[in-house]
Structure 1
Amino acid sequence: MNQEQIKKQIEQLIAQTEKEIDKVWSERLDSILKILTTLYEKVSDKDGHVGWTEVNKFNRLNKELDMIAKEITGDYSKIATIIKKSQENIYLEAYLMHMFIYEFTTQKIVMPQIPRIETIREALELPIEYIKLLPTLAKQRMRVLDRIRNDIAQGIMAGEGFGNIAKRLRESLGMTSKQSKRVARTEGGRAMMTAKYKSAVELHESGIEVKKVWQATLDKRTRTTHRSLDGQTVGIYEEFESPSGCKGQHPKMLYGLNSAAENINCRCDLMIIIDGKLPEVRRAKNDDDESIVIPYMTYDKYKSWVKGGRAA
């Protein structure tokens, strides 16, 4: 087993979580469209037109919108549960796989015991308020409720037919699903990095010399601050420091004023160095975004190497 195999297994777990989230929003779209269909059937005239006055009679529209809001609140509760469960599974799998590598490499028993669920939850609990899961989902919930209310109410006021409003709702909930999956991917990646870090701490405490190295993805999409962080080496308990001023123990866990911009969709990795031994090669992306293996170098050297025609 190697790091690439671990990443692939974790990616499969994240992909499964994304499917579960897609299912939640697909079912919610179907439910909203049924509500909208029933509303149109009740208030349409003989030509199929819906009047704003008629739809507001007996407070019909607000009652339906309130019902939709209540159901979406329940959806976000489901999604929070899905993501938390995913984090716990990813943490455990990543922890065990990294421990396997460490024990095989050092030929030493490092893992004291398989982590209990309470230990995993404690490890995943974030001390930084503005990157916690529930507040993030709460903000998303408010935005999607506003979009849905506007899609329906403004469409009816403009005299639009069912088809146009349904199209906008599909687009809005499609965007919402993408946002929820982005959160799930960020949280899944954070769980994997946390497990990798915690297992490295166990290795260090067993008496093995351990350092950690920030590894950015070597391609054009890597954000500038993470290019600067690439290759930064610190002790196991020390923090990495980004040019933005954010700090943290590992990628996807930086804190500070710009933490969201540093953590969301971060593709960086944490490399654990045992007894000072750096690898001879690392992965990068070529101009066609294909994965390639190159001699080990930092992002700055990689950039110069590419500009120089990739000459040896």
Structure 2
Amino acid sequence: MKNQNEIDKYLDEMIEKAERKIDQLFARRMKEIKNQIAAMYDKYSKDGELSYTELNKYNRFRKEMERMAAEIHKDYRELLKMINDLMEKQYVENYLRSAYLYEFEAQVNMGFTIPSAAVISAALENPIPELRLPALLEADRNQVISRIAIEITQGLQAGEGYAKIASRIDGAVHFGRKKARTTARTEAHRVQVEGRLKSAEKASEKADLKKMWDSTLDARTRIGHRKLDGKVVPLNGVFKSLYGGVGKAPGHMHNAKDDINCRCSIIFLVNGQKPEVRRSKIAGKNVVIPFVTYEEWKEQLKKAG
């Protein structure tokens, strides 16, 4: 990693890989729900039609929904672990990889160590209780289950066949998938930026650091964040968005319009420069030389710890 933008690309690819896994999880659930509905039609329909009244006999519908809900609960437990693992990797990787660049730009040992489990745990926990991952996923899970039940009920009451009800389910499950992807990206981005902020706090003990807003400049970037691109503030300064957010970095603006699905990053200027490559002196001259790799540097930290 020669600069902070390369780190950001590496971390974003990690998020994209997690999003693909989320897609696979919901695709599997969609298939199993449709199989369950098909089985309901085979078992309880008359002349190819399944009425809500018939399905509701003997608590059949309630039992089917309970079985469906139990499987969705399992999915969300898996999803919780998946996103937690992603967040931990985002924090640790950005903390250490950024620290590596700061040290070599400033040419001084800054005393970095591998973050402890307690430090990582604290970083992962959203400071707003209702926005913490378990609470978010529980609310999303309950909403998905409710929407599926409503769609099936309305479809049956309208006398719709399997194909139309299956199409209704597509919409409900797609809603859950989209919410899960948004939650994963937003929370991973939040702790990713937190990792860089924490490493910069440590580095500031040995070097002068300022921070710069770094936008992902494409058609998906919100206008307010394009306007912030390149804005430099002191290490402890804040950014102000036209959407009303005020905060220390992207993903930390304390405003949904700024933070949800944000892909912007923060870059630190070390002694006025963006970390690029190690500088050293040979025969009294400043030159750029090959330096210890990130993996070698990280291994040194492990041994020192």
Secondary structure of 2:204's aligned partner: helix
Q: 1:193, 1:251 within 8 Å by CA — same for their partners in 2?
A: yes
CA distance change for structure 1 residues 278 and 34 in 2, over 3 Å: closer, same or farther?
Answer: closer
Q: CA deviation at 1:95?
A: 1.6
1:208 aligns with 2:207: yes
- Structure 1 partner of 2:194: 194
Name the amino acid aligned to 1:58: Y
Aligned sequence identity (%): 36
Secondary structure of 1:213's aligned partner: strand
CA distance change for structure 1 residues 203 and 68 in 2, over 3 Å: closer, same or farther?
Answer: same
1:149 aligns with 2:149: yes
Q: CA deviation at 1:219?
A: 4.3
- Structure 2 partner of 1:40: 41
Return the structure number with greater relative CO, CA threshold 8 A, min gap 6.
Answer: 2
Q: CA deviation at 1:278?
A: 6.5
CA distance change for structure 1 residues 111 and 67 in 2, over 3 Å: closer, same or farther?
Answer: farther
Q: Distance in 2 between matches of 1:39 and 1:253?
A: 47
Q: 1:88, 1:120 within 8 Å by CA — same for their partners in 2?
A: yes
- Structure 1 partner of 2:266: 270
Q: CA deviation at 1:92?
A: 1.3
Q: 2:3, 2:274 within 8 Å by CA — same for their partners in 1?
A: no
Structure 1 residue ranges, 4+ long, deviating more than 3 angstroms after superposition: 217-222, 227-232
- Structure 1 partner of 2:293: none
CA distance change for structure 1 residues 278 and 24 in 2, over 3 Å: closer, same or farther?
Answer: closer
- Structure 2 partner of 1:173: 173
CA distance change for structure 1 residues 98 and 37 in 2, over 3 Å: closer, same or farther?
Answer: same
1:70-219 counterparts in 2 under 5 A?
Answer: 70-205=70-205, 207-219=206-218
1:26 aligns with 2:53: no
1:4 aligns with 2:29: no
Name the amino acid aligned to 2:256: A
Q: 1:12-52: per-residue Cα shift (whole Å, max 9, x none)?
A: 3212212322232122222212221221122111x211122
CA distance change for structure 1 residues 233 and 4 in 2, over 3 Å: closer, same or farther?
Answer: closer
Q: 1:105-153: per-residue Cα shift (whole Å, max 9, x none)?
A: 1121224311122211212222123433233223322321222112211
Secondary structure of 1:254's aligned partner: coil
CA distance change for structure 1 residues 278 and 83 in 2, over 3 Å: closer, same or farther?
Answer: closer
Secondary structure of 1:272's aligned partner: strand
Q: Distance in 2 between matches of 1:278 and 1:67?
A: 55
Q: Distance in 2 between matches of 1:19 and 1:223?
A: 24
Q: 1:250-285: per-residue Cα shift (whole Å, max 9, x none)?
A: 111111xxx111101112211211123379xxxxxx
Secondary structure of 1:17's aligned partner: helix
Q: 1:183-223: per-residue Cα shift (whole Å, max 9, x none)?
A: 11112222221111111111102x20111122233345432
Q: Distance in 1 between matches of 2:112 and 2:9?
A: 26
Q: Distance in 2 between matches of 1:145 and 1:40?
A: 20
Q: 1:99, 1:111 within 8 Å by CA — same for their partners in 2?
A: no
Q: Distance in 1 between matches of 2:196 and 2:187?
A: 14
Secondary structure of 2:224's aligned partner: helix
Segments of structure 2 that go 5 or more residues without pairing to the other structure are: 276-305
Name the amino acid aligned to 2:239: F
- Structure 2 partner of 1:235: 234
Q: CA deviation at 1:241?
A: 2.9
Q: Distance in 2 between matches of 1:15 and 1:233?
A: 28
Q: Give the CA RMSD over aligned residues.
A: 2.2
CA distance change for structure 1 residues 183 and 252 in 2, over 3 Å: closer, same or farther?
Answer: same
- Structure 1 partner of 2:68: 68
Secondary structure of 2:233's aligned partner: strand
Q: Distance in 2 between matches of 1:131 and 1:236?
A: 26
Q: CA deviation at 1:86?
A: 0.6
Q: Distance in 2 between matches of 1:16 and 1:168?
A: 28
**Which range moved further: 124-133 or 100-109?**
124-133
Secondary structure of 2:167's aligned partner: helix
TM-score under structure 1 length normalisation: 0.80
CA distance change for structure 1 residues 11 and 270 in 2, over 3 Å: closer, same or farther?
Answer: same
Q: How many residue pairs are counted as aligned between the two chains? A: 275
Name the amino acid aligned to 2:79: I
Q: 2:8, 2:265 within 8 Å by CA — same for their partners in 1?
A: no
- Structure 2 partner of 1:56: 56
- Structure 2 partner of 1:308: none
Secondary structure of 1:56's aligned partner: helix
Q: 2:144, 2:175 within 8 Å by CA — same for their partners in 1?
A: no
Secondary structure of 2:250's aligned partner: coil
Q: CA deviation at 1:57?
A: 0.7
